[in-house]
Amino acid sequence: MTWEQNLIEDEAGVEQVVKGARRVAVLGIKTEQQSGQPAFYVPDYLAREGVEVVPVPVYYPDVTHILGKPVFRRLEDVPGELDLVDVFRRPQDIDAHVEDLIAKKPKAVWFQSGIRNDAAAEKLAKAGIQVVQDRCLMVDHRRYGAR
């Protein structure tokens, strides 16, 4: 398998990533006070659908819990394996997280709608991590993840 095959752009590949996403870290998650923003309501939706959501906020240094779960400041501090990391960061801010993502080695990384960073995606794919770019996990979970 070549690293290019880890760049998921076809519907069958997206469906496979969604169906395998049982434990999802959300990098850049917002707090309940920002409930109208996708970086809160997408993980809130996932949690209500039975996905184990692990909050990894970038801001909010005083916050200890989001969605009733303890927060982690770095992905590599999250205990156990992750099926997916859902990324809510601007494209230019993703590079700062690539090493942490590679160190944690989730099965897949998902850049939300409007987020594309081909250089970061290539580094992740070469490290054996599947990457989905510029798609909404909530929309695709509704399409493919219904149990």
Q: Is the pLDDT of residue 23 over 80?
A: yes
What global pTM score does this model have? 0.96
Is the Cα torsion angle 35, 114, 70, 80 positive or negative in sign?
Answer: positive
Mean pLDDT for all residues in the chain: 97
Q: What is the mean pLDDT of residues 14-34?
A: 97
Residue 66 within a domain: yes
pLDDT digits (tens, 9 = 90+) for 66-109: 999 999 999 999 999 999 999 999 999 999 999 999 999 999 99
Distance CA 61, CA 74 (A): 12
Residue 13 within a domain: no
- Which pLDDT band holds residue 145 (cuts at 50, 70, 90)? confident
Give the number of domains in the chain: 1
What CATH number did the domain enclosing 63 receive?
3.40.50.720
Q: What is the mean pLDDT of residues 63-68?
A: 98
